[in-house]
Structure 1
Amino acid sequence: MEKLMYEYRRAADRYAPVPPPGTWAKDVAPRDVQVGDYIQIDGRYHGIANMRAIGLSGRKILFFKHHRLWVMSIRVTVHRPSTQLTPDSWDDQTLA
């Protein structure tokens, strides 16, 4: 039984969505997310079109062009287009 579960996970990894080209992966807190970043939700990458803060709690409501809104309350990995990066943040980035 365990062998089947292991094989199932490996097959799922093969079909993982590919991040948008020309983006850098970065682990960010809700306060550091930017419009234009891409986040993986429901197995696809969605670009952030707009966002709003929720009080002083550090959470943000993210609005996407082709997806319902999503509340970001924890650190997540975003894929940021290379045009939005600053030279001082290049050293801790991973090209997708």
Structure 2
Amino acid sequence: MTQTQRFQVGDVVRDTIRAAEGEVWKVEAGVLDLQNDAGYTWRALAHRCNPTTVADASPQFPPGTKPESVTPADIRVGDWVPLDGRNYRIVDMRSNGPGGRILIMDGYPRPWVMTPGPRQVYRPIQ
């Protein structure tokens, strides 16, 4: 019997069934919610995934911010989103259907799709 791999939000894994790589944005009962660079999301069983990049155990906070878990409905311009090992500040956003947002971030090369569900961001302290 093999031991189940423990994944956390932010890990990048390879789904062996789809032969695709994605970032973990939710972990629940051995099921991973994954998102690839194009914003496509899917679910995969944790025991069918192999780690590619492990999330930093001690993330670097942008100065003057605090971590918060937010949904696309709660995200704000000025929040910082951790992606690809860096933090990007949201400068603009658009709706992406029910429950989703397209985020425009300073320094990020293209718009990024925030899918439904909670995600950790860094919010400026007021």
Specify if TM > 0.5: yes
Match of 1:72 in 2: 114
CA distance in structure 2 between the aligned counterparts of 1:50 and 1:36, rounded to whole angstroms: 9
Unmatched runs of 5 consecutive residues or more in structure 1: 1-10, 84-96
Structure 1 residues 32 and 18 mapped into 2: Cα distance closer, same or farther (>3 Å)? same
Structure 1 residue runs of 4+, over 2 Å off?
A: 11-14
Q: Which amino acid aligns with 2:99?
A: G
CA distance in structure 2 between the aligned counterparts of 1:79 and 1:29, rounded to whole angstroms: 13
Q: Does 1:32 align with 2:87?
A: no
More strand by share: 2
Unmatched runs of 5 consecutive residues or more in structure 2: 1-53
CA distance in structure 1 between the aligned counterparts of 2:82 and 2:63, rounded to whole angstroms: 14
CA radius of gyration, larger in: 1
Structure 1 residues 50 and 12 mapped into 2: Cα distance closer, same or farther (>3 Å)? closer
More helix by share: 1
Task: Identify the structure with bigger relative contact order (alpha carbons < 8 Å, sequence gap 6+).
Answer: 1
Question: Percent identity of the aligned residues?
Answer: 42
1:54 to 73, 82, 96: 96
The count of aligned residue pairs is: 71
